[in-house]
Chain A
Amino acid sequence: MTRLAIDIGARFIDMIAWDADDIRTCKQPLGNVLCDSAQVGLTKLDLVPAQLSEVRIASTGFLNHLHDARSTQNGPRVGLITTAGFEDVATLGRQDRIGLYDLVTKVATPVHLIDEEAVFGISARMDAIGVELEAVDTDEIARIADALAERRVSSVAICLLHAHQDGHHEHEVASALTARLPDLSISLSHLVDPQPREFERTVSTILDSWLRITVLPDLAALKDRLTAEGFTGLWAWGDGRGALTEVSGSLVPLIAGGPAASIRGAAVIGASTKNAISIDVGSKTSDLALVRSGEPALIDGGLLAGLSVRGARVDMESLPLGGTQPVPGQTRYTLDDAMIAAGWMAGETACTATEAAQLLDRVHQHLAEAITRHATRRNVDPTRGSLVVTGGAGAPLATGLADALGLSHVLMPHLSSLAGAVGLARAPRRAEIQHRIDAPLIDVTPFMLTEFAQASAAELGTLPEGASFELFARISPRPRMPHIDVAFDRNTPERLVDAYQEAYHDRYGIAPQGPGHVTLLCARSDDPTGALKPDFAMTDGDMVTVPAGWRAVPVQGGFRLERRGS
């Protein structure tokens, strides 16, 4: 059986199909209908859906749409239901600004994703430990349903105070709305992001709600189409950590799935390098990350498309600069125009070769500055590391980028223009079981840990050979402080306290600032079954174009472009 990885970009669908003996690739232009384009791609790969045992999919569309919405302040918007008195939660944000010394004060809030006429407060109220203070008023919900219908709102985010402690009010509101508006898409904060801090949870819920009407429909339609045409295999999404997952309560983990896959796809070639910067230049964005010894770091949240988004993902940065985007500092020409005029790609443009040279220099400088900022923020001098370039627009820019950074070489992995699909093809399938406990560490007994380990192992079933099984406890020094995930062994659960002390000290250099509070137990299995091997055999088409003054040296996982004479 054949497996298929699909990375959906702004202009192309990158596809890799592989089995034990063969690997086939396709870069299919994305038409108006995703399903149709994917179908054409499959045909080019000489495949029908019934032949596929597995489909792995990721999309940069999540981020691209968010960048577009931010820059245009236009597009679909969602409704929002909050606790009465807190309807402005998305506007108020956390009250801090970005760009401390900018003359114009700017904030990172999701107001551009909300229909401000469709924000409603409801009287139902929980207290801080999830005890009901006021019940849901169904008449009130009925009035809101009518108003949502009148505004033609198709998706609504519900984020009530303290819902992370008890979500039954959110469920009640959702049920009442669904009864009147069966087609309404509803996102519930306690399912999307069950953690305290109402603004952060609201951002997650709005994002989930917004993505369900902007990006998800096309992806769901693709799955339906393949299924209708005989696909009965496994379906997995690439998430922001670079793993494969099944969508459960939230789309938010998928937002960075496309870039994370590209970064994972690029990482192999940097495995022998202490510090490598990976940059994937696509049609809409350039995504970059620091890769240390072949592994990108993970973070628990940060800015994505101008929004502070919670959740574990690869420590990456996404810039709104790609082939279809204007070259920074002007509005007349896109990067594509410059590359066409330079003879790097086919097409028509009014841009002259002279203008193109200047524009490309500007792009190189802009990206070099971004790379430098990203690396130095992580205490890495980019001129002392390696640069890994991927993406459809990456290859032609690679040596110019190296020049701009003062590097004598640049790495290009095999199938660099399909790095996202490669990353998906190599990704492990991740299964996770999470159990909320919200208890002092001292009350989490070895018996509880053992019981959780056994129950999780049973639920995950017999793991295939090569699959990992890890157990974590999410612990913060005191309730509501930032947490760390502490691994524990099911055979020595009594070591959790010591393991926590050690892990905290390793990260921060001090003993934990409190006795410890556990919010979550997690069992995780990464199953590499079927993943494309790092040393896959290359096709003839995977050659790099080498500009004058440079040479391509084959290395493990791809090519090293070196300046001649260096």
Chain B
Amino acid sequence: MNRANRILQMRLDGLAESKQCMLLDTAVSPVAREAADCASALFTADGELLAMSDAIPLLLGALPGQMTTLLTRYSPSTMREGEIFVANDPFSGGTHLPDIAVILPVFGEGQLIGFSASLLHHQDVGGTRPGSVPPDATEIFQEGLRLPPMLAGANYRLSQEIRDLVTANSRVPDIVLADLDAQVAAARSAARGWAQIIDDLGVTGFMDATADLLNSAEAETRATLGSLSHDEARAIDGLDPDATLGRLDVAVALKVSTDGMVVDFTGSSAQVPAPINCVASGPLSAVFYAAITLLGPNPLRNGGILRCIRLVLPEASVVNASPPAPVNARTNMVRAITSTVLTALAQIDPKGRPAANCGMAYVIAFSGMGADGERFLATEIVAGGAGGGPDHPGAHAVSTDVGNARNTPVEIIEADLPLRVISSERRRGSGGDGLHDGGDGIRRIYEALGDGIAVSIRGERFQRVPEGSLGGGAPAPAAARILRADGTTETLGPRSAVKLDTGDQLVIESCGGAGYGAQS
């Protein structure tokens, strides 16, 4: 591939990243602004992924499916500059309902040249519990407003109809609408940057170059896959077993060749009436992420890689749920899928690969009415530890693999919510032992400063923790409990909905990373 086209890929990557920065600058909700739970990408006019921001891979991998579904419903020939499309339906390419995709067609010299898209976790889209992540949901209908891909505005403005729809469904419509506006503005800014590229290359030159970029990425990926062992690798992991739901397994059979990477999830558990299921975007995110880790430094990161991926997904399973399965707590299922895929991948490409990461994150939503009578609602994401590596111990307290959410600063939490954070510390000793220990997880303690604070907690790895690598030890499992003001203690499970009153303390402990190698 020529240097000019590689420069073009870098400019497009930069454009996607600038768009991501703008989202972080203008988003209002703490989960987007502080935790960075959002992602931006650019697509070709045909809907192929063109460039990605350095955002949460779990979200990035979901955008191509949203794009594909949009183009099956709307003909590009009918699209107009300034039109806005939105979608959040997990069963139409999405993830879970709080993640709303905003997609704008981009035009150059009067013709459609691509799409500017983003996915952002919105604070509340209705449903049975504030934050729209009810841990006790049994059907998607309990999880909030469901938006199939739809036209939601023109002239770079959301329509009044979509504003009314959000206002009627969300507990915090002003915040959701502000974040949607931020998505539209970011998409528009990317379109303006895109125009500069068209000024330099012209539409024809741009189209030719992007076709080459996609083909080159595909060729690079096939060449890498062809250089690896062609043996089938298998791995199995999953979520904590549940007394009601039974085992929740993710099974993977992975095979690579110049024909591509085929990942067969046959053997994974059937979907369950609990929100831990994920839809097809989950395994795609995991496998896409894993594939990129194979490609070395500075690969062409675009849809050419996706052309090399084929998934075999059992219908109505925990990795490919069918309606009306609930999916709001799908994050940890995607993390488990990622752990399973990476474990399999390490069998055919072991060099430099660390032991398993914690494979979990807590997503905690706090809500209630403040002393001023105003509703408060915020989501906090707590990571775990990284796996120990061949040369180094694992990093402590860090978002790993398909995650990269930031924590919410204690000073922001205490300013926004009736909570006091008693401590936020490294959970020492929680990483697995080894020649190189796994990184430690986090312990965070929140104290309620008011009564009736509702908390939705979605965690994982309370029982089933990752194994160490090459003789390394397993990490300590995650745990959560409430220390009531009256001195009693309530032990919590991985998915809990609880209420805190004044003086109650919520203790959250995340899982560490697995150890690498036998301890000397």
Could you tell me if B28 and A477 are in contact, using CB atoms closer than 8 angstroms?
A: yes
Q: Which of A53-61, A94-102, A395-403 contacts B (4 or more CB under 8 A)?
A: A94-102
Residues of A close to B406: CB separation below 8 A: 94-96
Could you tell me if A92 and B407 are in contact, using CB atoms closer than 8 angstroms?
A: yes
B430 to chain A, nearest CB (A): 13
In-complex Cβ contact of A107 among B14, B189, B398, B405 (8 A): B398
Residues of B close to A373: CB separation below 8 A: 10
In-complex Cβ contact of A508 among B14, B185, B404 (8 A): B185
Residues of B close to A92: CB separation below 8 A: 396-397, 407, 424-426, 442
Could you tell me if A508 and B22 are in contact, using CB atoms closer than 8 angstroms?
A: yes
Could you tell me if A510 and B185 are in contact, using CB atoms closer than 8 angstroms?
A: yes
Residue B307 lies at the interface, judged by CB distance under 8 Å to chain A:
no
Residues 392-415 of B, flagged 1 when their CB comes within 8 A of A and 0 if not, give 101111111000111101111011
- Which residues A360-377 have CB closer than 8 A to chain B? 372-373, 376-377
- Which residues A403-427 have CB closer than 8 A to chain B? 406
Interface size class of A (residues with CB under 8 A): 35 or more
Could you tell me if B196 and A196 are in contact, using CB atoms closer than 8 angstroms?
A: no
Chain B residue nearest to A368 in the complex (CB):
B3
Residues of B close to A161: CB separation below 8 A: 410-411, 414
Given contacts A86-B410, A480-B412, contact A103 B189 (CB under 8 A): no
Residues 290-334 of B, flagged 1 when their CB comes within 8 A of A and 0 if not, give 001101000000000000000000000000000000000000000
**Most chain B beta carbons < 10 A, residue from A103, A378, A383:** A103
Could you tell me if B426 and A91 are in contact, using CB atoms closer than 8 angstroms?
A: yes
**Most chain A beta carbons < 10 A, residue from B184, B295, B407:** B407
Residues of B close to A196: CB separation below 8 A: 409, 411-412, 415
Residue B455 lies at the interface, judged by CB distance under 8 Å to chain A:
no
Could you tell me if B395 and A101 are in contact, using CB atoms closer than 8 angstroms?
A: no
Could you tell me if A95 and B407 are in contact, using CB atoms closer than 8 angstroms?
A: yes
Could you tell me if A199 and B26 are in contact, using CB atoms closer than 8 angstroms?
A: no
Residues of A close to B22: CB separation below 8 A: 508
Assembled-state Cα–Cα distance A34/B178 (Å): 54
Could you tell me if B54 and A100 are in contact, using CB atoms closer than 8 angstroms?
A: yes
Residues of B close to A379: CB separation below 8 A: 11, 14-15, 18, 193, 196-197
B498 to chain A, nearest CB (A): 22
Q: Which of B90-98, B224-232, B243-251, B350-358 contacts A (4 or more CB under 8 A)?
A: B350-358
Could you tell me if A103 and B399 are in contact, using CB atoms closer than 8 angstroms?
A: no
Could you tell me if B178 and A514 are in contact, using CB atoms closer than 8 angstroms?
A: yes
Assembled-state Cα–Cα distance A105/B355 (Å): 11
- Which residues B411-463 have CB closer than 8 A to chain A? 411-412, 414-416, 420-426, 439, 442, 445
Chain B residue nearest to A163 in the complex (CB):
B411
A220 to chain B, nearest CB (A): 33
Residue A294 lies at the interface, judged by CB distance under 8 Å to chain B:
no
**Most chain B beta carbons < 10 A, residue from A91, A101, A107, A383:** A101
Residue A88 lies at the interface, judged by CB distance under 8 Å to chain B:
yes
Given contacts A198-B411, A513-B26, contact A381 B400 (CB under 8 A): no
B286 to chain A, nearest CB (A): 13
- Which residues B369-394 have CB closer than 8 A to chain A? 381-383, 386, 389, 391-392, 394
Residue A479 lies at the interface, judged by CB distance under 8 Å to chain B:
yes
Interface size class of B (residues with CB under 8 A): 35 or more
- Which residues B186-221 have CB closer than 8 A to chain A? 188-189, 192-193, 196-197, 200
Residue A127 lies at the interface, judged by CB distance under 8 Å to chain B:
yes
Residues of B close to A106: CB separation below 8 A: 395
Assembled-state Cα–Cα distance A197/B22 (Å): 19
Residues 143-181 of A, flagged 1 when their CB comes within 8 A of B and 0 if not, give 000000000000000000110100000000000000000
Chain B residue nearest to A103 in the complex (CB):
B352
Residues of B close to A162: CB separation below 8 A: 411, 414
Given contacts A372-B10, A508-B22, contact A103 B389 (CB under 8 A): yes
Given contacts A477-B28, A508-B189, contact A103 B354 (CB under 8 A): yes
Residue A466 lies at the interface, judged by CB distance under 8 Å to chain B:
no
Residues of B close to A378: CB separation below 8 A: 14, 18
Given contacts A85-B423, A105-B386, A510-B184, contact A97 B398 (CB under 8 A): yes
- Which residues A44-103 have CB closer than 8 A to chain B? 84-89, 91-97, 100-103
Assembled-state Cα–Cα distance A161/B386 (Å): 27
**Most chain A beta carbons < 10 A, residue from B57, B178, B383, B442:** B178
Residues of B close to A95: CB separation below 8 A: 381-383, 397-399, 405-407, 442
Could you tell me if A376 and B14 are in contact, using CB atoms closer than 8 angstroms?
A: yes
Given contacts A86-B424, A196-B409, contact A105 B33 (CB under 8 A): no
Residues of B close to A102: CB separation below 8 A: 293
Residues of B close to A381: CB separation below 8 A: 7-8, 11, 200
A73 to chain B, nearest CB (A): 11
Could you tell me if A96 and B7 are in contact, using CB atoms closer than 8 angstroms?
A: no
Given contacts A100-B404, A379-B11, contact A510 B410 (CB under 8 A): no
Residues of B close to A164: CB separation below 8 A: 411
In-complex Cβ contact of B425 among A86, A479, A510 (8 A): A86
Residue B4 lies at the interface, judged by CB distance under 8 Å to chain A:
yes
Could you tell me if A383 and B26 are in contact, using CB atoms closer than 8 angstroms?
A: no
Residues of A close to B143: CB separation below 8 A: none
Residue B289 lies at the interface, judged by CB distance under 8 Å to chain A:
yes
Residue A128 lies at the interface, judged by CB distance under 8 Å to chain B:
yes
Residues of A close to B397: CB separation below 8 A: 88, 91-93, 95
Residue B83 lies at the interface, judged by CB distance under 8 Å to chain A:
no
Residues of B close to A384: CB separation below 8 A: 200
Assembled-state Cα–Cα distance A104/B236 (Å): 22
Residues of A close to B400: CB separation below 8 A: 97, 105
Could you tell me if B293 and A103 are in contact, using CB atoms closer than 8 angstroms?
A: yes
Assembled-state Cα–Cα distance A406/B423 (Å): 55
A170 to chain B, nearest CB (A): 14
Residue A478 lies at the interface, judged by CB distance under 8 Å to chain B:
yes
Residues 337-378 of B, flagged 1 when their CB comes within 8 A of A and 0 if not, give 000000000000000111001000000000000000000000
Given contacts A161-B410, A379-B11, A508-B189, contact A89 B424 (CB under 8 A): yes
Residues of A close to B415: CB separation below 8 A: 128-129, 196, 479-480
B503 to chain A, nearest CB (A): 14
Assembled-state Cα–Cα distance A550/B424 (Å): 61
Chain A residue nearest to B54 in the complex (CB):
A100
Given contacts A87-B425, A92-B397, A381-B7, contact A104 B389 (CB under 8 A): yes
Given contacts A101-B293, A514-B178, contact A96 B395 (CB under 8 A): no
Residues of B close to A546: CB separation below 8 A: none
Assembled-state Cα–Cα distance A510/B22 (Å): 11
18 contacts between A and B (CB under 8 A): A88-B425, A91-B396, A92-B397, A95-B382, A100-B404, A101-B295, A103-B293, A103-B352, A106-B395, A161-B414, A372-B10, A373-B10, A376-B14, A377-B13, A378-B18, A379-B14, A379-B193, A482-B24
Instruction: List 19 additional A-B contacts (Cβ < 8 Å) besides A92-B396, A514-B178.
Output: A87-B425, A94-B407, A95-B382, A95-B406, A95-B407, A96-B36, A100-B57, A101-B289, A162-B411, A200-B409, A372-B7, A377-B13, A377-B14, A377-B17, A378-B14, A378-B18, A384-B200, A477-B26, A480-B412
When A and B form their complex, which 10 residue pairs have the shortest distance between CB atoms, in order from nearest?
A85-B423, A376-B10, A105-B386, A377-B14, A510-B185, A128-B414, A128-B415, A94-B406, A95-B407, A197-B409
